[in-house]
């Protein structure tokens, strides 16, 4: 009976190890790296959009506080 329990534990550890190795291989494949870089790029773009929105909101608040009319300024 003891041998059966240890064999079951060994099989479970083997299956878990095999799944982890397979996950690591797929993450390091070209497709996996492409997905990771894509997620990183999406995160950077989302952060930049949030910063731009915050800057615009703050600029509107400052213009209102200073009594400056909101004009579209041409940037050179």
How does pLDDT run across 1-13, given as a tens digit for each residue?
889 999 999 999 9
| 38 within 8 A of 30, measured Cβ to Cβ | no
Which has more pLDDT, 31 or 16? 16
Residue 74 pLDDT > 50, yes or no?
Answer: no
pTM over 0.85: no
Share of the chain above pLDDT 90, in %: 67
Looking at the predicted structure, is the pLDDT value of residue 75 above 60?
Answer: no
Query: Between residues 69 and 48, which one has the greater pLDDT?
Result: 48
63's CB contacts (< 8 A; 6+ apart) are: 69, 70
């Amino acid at each position: 009976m003891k041998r059966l329990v240890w064999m079951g534990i060994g099989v479970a550890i083997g299956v878990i190890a095999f799944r982890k190795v397979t996950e690591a291989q797929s993450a390091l494949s070209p497709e996996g790296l492409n997905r990771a870089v894509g997620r990183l790029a999406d995160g950077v773009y989302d952060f930049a959009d949030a910063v731009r929105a915050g800057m615009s909101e703050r600029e509107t608040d400052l213009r209102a506080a200073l009594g400056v009319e909101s004009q579209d300024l041409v940037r050179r």
